[in-house]
Amino acid sequence: MANKILVTGGAGYIGSHTSIVLQEAGFEVHIIDNLSNSDAAVMDRIAEITGKIPGFTQLDLCNSEDLHAFFDKHPDIAGVIHFAAHKSVNESSTYPLKYYHNNLTGTINLLQAMQRANCHNLVFSSSCTVYGQPDQLPVSEDAPLKKAFSPYGNTKRMCEEIIHDQAEADSLQAVALRYFNPIGAHHSARIGELPVGIPNNLVPYLTQTAAGKRDSLKVFGQDYDTHDGTGIRDYIHVVDLAEAHLKAISRLLEQKNKEAFEVFNLGTGTGYSVLDIIKTFEKVSGVRVTHEITDRRAGDIEKVWADPAKANRELGWKARFGLDDMLRSAWAWEQSLASRNDS
Ligand code: UDP
């Protein structure tokens, strides 16, 4: 079976972990990335972990000529896993056009290039943000999609719709994976999340606070209708997420998909509050996290967690790692960054 996989945005957080899992499963990986929010040194880290350096081309998906030339040069690509996108919720509210332009144009150009190159298998990196605050929990794939709270979230829903329409109209076979809250890092602590500037997300902010880079973690609101008043999310280990991508692309290559466009929720099925995260982090790291309760953050939903039954059943995938593992690996990664900066 043809086994070369193109990973767009493969130098990023989830893309790099997925590239490792693909290489370990015997796939040949070629990464394209514009390096707008990542570093080419990730290729060396992937090589250290897997013993093999992935193919790499620095390329912006918004440049369709370069993309066509890329596919002409690599006619043997069996499938594509598409991560490349801008991903900051906050920034997207300040610069909506930057987000709509980059994320939609990149996806449309990719679909056109795949069509032209007769490449039919696509896994798309989507998000549970497409559900907004769901009416029922846990949230399953048939829950209605709602207008997202941010332009970023809207781009995920719109890209899903574009891919769905193309799969109905043409020979494209596609899987959209709706992630809940990815955290943690590879157990080697050689790769992980590299937030630029002040992190927006809870876990990078928390580990930076524990490491002394930030003074205090703000807990956004303690008046939600949850067991301790703080917001609840379904956190998932990034390596579990990476393994789901392997399952999804394999399902397409083996033609086991049941529809031309399928969606799967990727979560553990268990929700944890912000205070649960802080307590568990303190337990596994032995480090106290200075924190304070502040007002709610605009646009945050109260609580969400996944019903991952469809992914369990159809993809044969189940999250393996619990919260302790996720936070331990996030802390090991933060410490490895600190030791690199010291040296
Ligand atoms: N959160 C927080 N302090 C922070 C960052 C996040 O209390 O500095 C809370 C946020 O309100 C939400 C949860 O942590 O309840 C997860 O937020 P994150 O930004 O990581 O992911 P989201 O689900 O909002 O995309």
| Chain segment 283-301, per-residue pLDDT in tens | 999 999 999 999 999 889 9
293-to-14, 158, 185, 216 alpha-carbon distances in Å = 30, 35, 27, 10
Task: Give nearest CA residue, ligand 1 atom 14.
Answer: 202
Asked, for residue 254, whether it belongs to a domain, the answer is yes
* pLDDT given for residue 342 in this prediction: 59
Asked, for residue 195, whether it belongs to a domain, the answer is no
- For residue 138, cis peptide bond before it (omega within 30 degrees of 0): yes
* Annotation marks residue 272 as catalytic: no
* pLDDT given for residue 170 in this prediction: 95
**111 CA distance to ligand 1 middle (Å):** 33
Domains identified in the chain, total number: 2
**181 CA distance to ligand 1 middle (Å):** 9
Q: d(Cα 342, Cα 339) in Å, to the nearest integer?
A: 5
Asked, for residue 87, whether it belongs to a domain, the answer is yes
> Are 167 and 120 found together in one domain?
yes
Other CB atoms within a 10 A radius of the CB of residue 41 amount to 10
CB 79, CB 134: distance < 8 Å: no
CB 236, CB 267: distance < 8 Å: yes
> Domain holding 288: CATH number?
3.90.25.10
> Are 16 and 122 found together in one domain?
yes
> Are 175 and 218 found together in one domain?
no
Asked, for residue 188, whether it belongs to a domain, the answer is no
> Are 249 and 275 found together in one domain?
no
> Are 28 and 172 found together in one domain?
yes
Parent domain of 240: 4-183+236-267+311-315
> Are 160 and 286 found together in one domain?
no
Length, in residues, of the chain: 343
Give DSSP secondary structure letters for 98-111. Answer: HHIIIIIHHHHHHH
Report the atom number in ligand 1 closest to the C-alpha of 232: 15
* pLDDT given for residue 29 in this prediction: 98
Residue 28 CA to its chain's centroid (Å): 21
pLDDT at 1 over 70: no
> Are 249 and 277 found together in one domain?
no
Give per-residue pLDDT as tens, 258-267.
Answer: 999 999 999 9
> Are 224 and 241 found together in one domain?
no
Q: What type of residue sits at position 222?
A: Q
> Are 159 and 210 found together in one domain?
no
Give per-residue pLDDT as tens, 312-339.
Answer: 999 999 999 999 999 999 999 999 998 8
* pLDDT given for residue 2 in this prediction: 65
Query: In DSSP terms, which residues pair with 195 in a beta bridge?
Result: none
Report the atom number in ligand 1 closest to the C-alpha of 206: 8
User: Pick the catalytic residue: 13, 99, 131, 152?
Assistant: 152
Give per-residue pLDDT as tens, 145-178.
Answer: 988 889 999 999 999 999 999 999 999 999 999 9
Task: Give nearest CA residue, ligand 1 atom 18.
Answer: 201
* pLDDT given for residue 341 in this prediction: 65
> Are 217 and 252 found together in one domain?
no
CB 33, CB 10: distance < 8 Å: yes
Nearest to 72 by CA among 62, 64, 82: 64
Asked, for residue 219, whether it belongs to a domain, the answer is yes
pLDDT at 16 over 80: yes
- For residue 54, cis peptide bond before it (omega within 30 degrees of 0): no
Report the atom number in ligand 1 closest to the C-alpha of 205: 8
> Domain holding 15: CATH number?
3.40.50.720
The model's confidence at residue 195, banded by pLDDT at 50, 70 and 90, is confident
> Are 117 and 212 found together in one domain?
no
Q: Is the CB of 278 under 6 A from ligand 1?
A: no
The model's confidence at residue 196, banded by pLDDT at 50, 70 and 90, is confident
Q: d(Cα 131, Cα 143) in Å, to the nearest integer?
A: 7
> Are 110 and 208 found together in one domain?
no
pLDDT at 185 over 50: yes
The model's confidence at residue 343, banded by pLDDT at 50, 70 and 90, is very low
Task: Give nearest CA residue, ligand 1 atom 19.
Answer: 201
pTM above 0.95, yes or no: yes
Give per-residue pLDDT as tens, 94-128.
Answer: 999 999 999 999 999 999 999 999 999 999 999 99
Tokens of 284: 């596994």
Average pLDDT, the chain: 96
